[in-house]
């Protein structure tokens, strides 16, 4: 067994850079205000009491939950090979890596629920680092 690590090149995309998925990309999408339009488009955004419960505002009995006690909710989403994503925002701060994220705009996809719409969504940096892509010219 070869324990030697293979070198890889660092690639930090610029704002506006377009990436074409070279394989299906499965990632965790966080239930957070900036992702709500994307989640709604996919038919995943709850409404009414379910929305308040999943957002952590209330517990199963309808009692208000403090911000510190809210549990994060994510959905596993897959975008198909060939999807074109444009980098819209990169957020990285020293000593608060929990908030490292990249925001994308879907420019083109064959995903049946997205179609020709161009939703914006963010993912944690660790999720984005799993993308296998071809850079657009």
Q: Examine residue 65 and state whether it is found in any structural domain, yes or no.
A: yes
Residue 13: inside a domain: no
Residue 10 forms part of a structural domain: no
Q: Is the CB of residue 84 less than 8 Å from the CB of residue 107? A: yes
pLDDT of residue 8: 78
Residue 29: DSSP 8-state: E
> Considering the entire predicted model, what is its pTM?
0.81
SS3 25: strand
- Comparing CA positions, the residue from 28, 77, 33 lying closest to residue 54 is 33
- Per-residue pLDDT at 70: 56
**Per-residue pLDDT tens digits for 11-42:** 889 999 999 999 999 999 988 889 888 988 99
The confidence score (pLDDT) of residue 6 equals 82
Residue ranges of the chain with per-residue pLDDT less than 50: none
Residue whose tokens read 């992702």: 35
Range of the domain at 111: 18-135
Q: What pLDDT, on the 0 to 100 scale, is given for residue 7?
A: 83
């Amino acid at each position: 067994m070869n324990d030697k690590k293979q070198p890889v090149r660092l690639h930090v995309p610029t704002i506006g850079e377009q990436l074409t998925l070279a394989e299906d990309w499965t990632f965790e999408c966080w239930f957070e205000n900036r992702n709500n339009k994307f989640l709604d488009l996919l038919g995943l955004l709850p409404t009414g009491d379910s929305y308040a419960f999943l957002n952590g505002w209330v517990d199963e009995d309808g009692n208000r939950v403090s911000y510190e006690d809210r549990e994060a909710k994510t959905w596993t989403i897959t975008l198909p090979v060939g999807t074109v994503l444009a980098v819209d925002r990169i957020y990285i701060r020293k000593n608060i890596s929990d908030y490292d994220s990249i925001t994308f705009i879907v420019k083109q996809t064959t995903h049946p629920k997205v179609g020709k719409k161009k939703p914006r969504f963010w993912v944690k940096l660790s999720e984005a680092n799993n993308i296998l892509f071809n850079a657009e010219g």
